[in-house]
Amino acid sequence: MDDQRPNHSGDSAPLAEPRTLYRTVHNNPPVRDDFLSYEQLGKPMPKNAEQVRRWKGISTFETLDQARRIARANRAQGGFVAELAIPADRRITYERTGKNAGHYTLWGAPDMIVELVLSVVPVIEEEKVSHGDNVSTLG
Protein backbone atom coordinates (compact mmCIF):
# COMPACT_ATOMS: atom_id res chain seq x y z
CA MET A 1 0.00 0.00 0.00
CA ASP A 2 1.17 3.52 -0.82
CA ASP A 3 2.06 5.38 2.41
CA GLN A 4 0.41 8.81 2.19
CA ARG A 5 2.25 10.26 5.21
CA PRO A 6 5.05 12.65 4.29
CA ASN A 7 8.51 12.55 5.77
CA HIS A 8 8.19 15.09 8.60
CA SER A 9 11.20 16.98 9.88
CA GLY A 10 11.82 19.72 12.42
CA ASP A 11 10.49 20.26 15.94
CA SER A 12 6.83 19.87 15.05
CA ALA A 13 6.05 16.15 14.76
CA PRO A 14 2.66 14.91 13.55
CA LEU A 15 0.42 13.57 16.27
CA ALA A 16 -1.11 10.11 16.47
CA GLU A 17 -3.44 10.51 19.44
CA PRO A 18 -7.19 9.91 19.26
CA ARG A 19 -9.01 13.09 18.31
CA THR A 20 -12.13 14.41 16.64
CA LEU A 21 -11.54 16.70 13.65
CA TYR A 22 -13.92 18.25 11.10
CA ARG A 23 -13.55 18.31 7.31
CA THR A 24 -15.62 20.23 4.77
CA VAL A 25 -16.94 17.83 2.12
CA HIS A 26 -19.08 17.92 -1.03
CA ASN A 27 -21.06 14.72 -0.50
CA ASN A 28 -23.44 13.33 2.11
CA PRO A 29 -22.46 10.67 2.83
CA PRO A 30 -18.83 11.56 2.07
CA VAL A 31 -16.93 9.59 -0.55
CA ARG A 32 -13.22 8.88 -1.04
CA ASP A 33 -12.84 11.93 -3.31
CA ASP A 34 -13.84 14.23 -0.41
CA PHE A 35 -10.55 13.27 1.28
CA LEU A 36 -8.06 13.72 -1.57
CA SER A 37 -5.04 15.97 -1.00
CA TYR A 38 -4.06 18.71 -3.43
CA GLU A 39 -1.26 16.38 -4.51
CA GLN A 40 -3.75 13.60 -5.30
CA LEU A 41 -6.01 16.09 -7.11
CA GLY A 42 -3.10 17.06 -9.37
CA LYS A 43 -2.89 20.66 -8.12
CA PRO A 44 0.44 22.40 -8.79
CA MET A 45 3.15 21.67 -6.24
CA PRO A 46 4.13 24.68 -4.11
CA LYS A 47 7.76 25.78 -4.07
CA ASN A 48 8.08 26.15 -0.28
CA ALA A 49 8.99 22.90 1.55
CA GLU A 50 6.47 23.51 4.37
CA GLN A 51 3.70 24.15 1.87
CA VAL A 52 4.63 20.94 0.02
CA ARG A 53 4.20 19.02 3.28
CA ARG A 54 0.70 20.44 3.76
CA TRP A 55 -0.11 19.93 0.04
CA LYS A 56 0.31 16.18 0.67
CA GLY A 57 -2.34 16.22 3.42
CA ILE A 58 -5.89 17.50 3.80
CA SER A 59 -7.27 20.43 5.78
CA THR A 60 -9.36 19.75 8.87
CA PHE A 61 -10.51 21.81 11.83
CA GLU A 62 -10.69 21.41 15.57
CA THR A 63 -14.36 22.42 15.84
CA LEU A 64 -17.51 22.21 13.76
CA ASP A 65 -17.93 26.00 13.95
CA GLN A 66 -14.43 26.59 12.54
CA ALA A 67 -15.09 24.25 9.60
CA ARG A 68 -18.48 25.87 8.94
CA ARG A 69 -16.98 29.37 9.04
CA ILE A 70 -14.35 28.47 6.41
CA ALA A 71 -16.93 26.71 4.21
CA ARG A 72 -19.34 29.66 4.37
CA ALA A 73 -16.52 32.01 3.32
CA ASN A 74 -15.51 29.72 0.43
CA ARG A 75 -18.43 27.81 -1.12
CA ALA A 76 -16.01 25.67 -3.17
CA GLN A 77 -15.18 23.88 0.09
CA GLY A 78 -18.47 21.97 -0.09
CA GLY A 79 -21.89 22.08 1.48
CA PHE A 80 -21.32 19.65 4.35
CA VAL A 81 -19.00 19.08 7.30
CA ALA A 82 -17.91 15.55 8.24
CA GLU A 83 -16.96 14.71 11.81
CA LEU A 84 -13.93 12.39 11.84
CA ALA A 85 -12.83 10.12 14.71
CA ILE A 86 -9.06 9.90 14.34
CA PRO A 87 -7.66 6.75 16.01
CA ALA A 88 -4.30 6.49 17.78
CA ASP A 89 -2.99 3.70 15.53
CA ARG A 90 -0.56 5.94 13.54
CA ARG A 91 -2.15 5.08 10.18
CA ILE A 92 -3.60 8.62 10.21
CA THR A 93 -1.55 11.53 11.56
CA TYR A 94 -2.30 15.21 11.99
CA GLU A 95 -0.55 18.42 12.94
CA ARG A 96 -1.63 21.96 13.84
CA THR A 97 -0.76 24.03 10.74
CA GLY A 98 -1.59 27.27 8.99
CA LYS A 99 -2.81 30.65 10.13
CA ASN A 100 -6.50 29.87 10.68
CA ALA A 101 -7.54 29.12 14.26
CA GLY A 102 -7.98 25.39 14.83
CA HIS A 103 -6.61 24.36 11.42
CA TYR A 104 -4.96 20.93 11.27
CA THR A 105 -3.40 19.11 8.34
CA LEU A 106 -4.25 15.41 8.32
CA TRP A 107 -2.23 12.76 6.45
CA GLY A 108 -3.55 9.33 5.52
CA ALA A 109 -5.03 7.26 2.72
CA PRO A 110 -8.41 8.61 1.54
CA ASP A 111 -9.91 5.09 1.68
CA MET A 112 -9.03 4.93 5.37
CA ILE A 113 -10.13 8.47 6.20
CA VAL A 114 -13.61 8.00 4.69
CA GLU A 115 -14.12 5.10 7.11
CA LEU A 116 -13.55 7.45 10.08
CA VAL A 117 -16.68 9.57 9.42
CA LEU A 118 -18.96 9.67 12.47
CA SER A 119 -21.54 12.15 11.23
CA VAL A 120 -22.25 14.73 8.55
CA VAL A 121 -24.05 18.07 8.93
CA PRO A 122 -24.86 20.84 6.45
CA VAL A 123 -22.63 23.91 6.41
CA ILE A 124 -25.69 26.14 6.66
CA GLU A 125 -27.91 25.12 9.54
CA GLU A 126 -31.54 24.93 8.60
CA GLU A 127 -33.65 27.39 10.53
CA LYS A 128 -35.92 25.78 13.04
CA VAL A 129 -39.44 27.17 12.91
CA SER A 130 -41.79 26.58 15.78
CA HIS A 131 -45.35 26.50 14.51
CA GLY A 132 -46.63 27.76 17.89
CA ASP A 133 -44.65 31.00 17.55
CA ASN A 134 -46.27 32.12 14.30
CA VAL A 135 -47.12 35.79 14.79
CA SER A 136 -49.19 37.63 12.22
CA THR A 137 -48.30 41.21 11.40
CA LEU A 138 -51.67 41.86 9.79
CA GLY A 139 -54.03 43.99 11.88
Enclosing domain of residue 68 = 19-126
Q: Is the pTM above the cut of 0.85? A: no
According to the 3-state scheme, what is the secondary structure of the chain?
Answer: CCCCCCCCCCCCCCECCCEEEEEEECCCCCCHHHHCCCCCCCCCCCCCHHHHHHHCCEEEECCHHHHHHHHHHCHHHCCEEEEEEECCCCCCEEEECCCCCCEEEEECCHHHHHHHEEEEEECCCCCCCCHHHCCCCCC
What is the mean predicted confidence (pLDDT) over 115-124? 96
Identify whether 1 is part of a domain: no
Identify whether 9 is part of a domain: no
Which pLDDT band holds residue 10 (cuts at 50, 70, 90)?
A: very low
Considering its fold, how many domains does the chain have in total?
1
Identify whether 76 is part of a domain: yes
| pLDDT for residue 38 | 96
Identify whether 5 is part of a domain: no
Q: State percent of the chain over pLDDT 90.
A: 70
| pLDDT for residue 15 | 64
For residue 55, what is the domain's CATH number?
Answer: 3.20.170
Identify whether 136 is part of a domain: no
What is the mean predicted confidence (pLDDT) over 19-30? 97
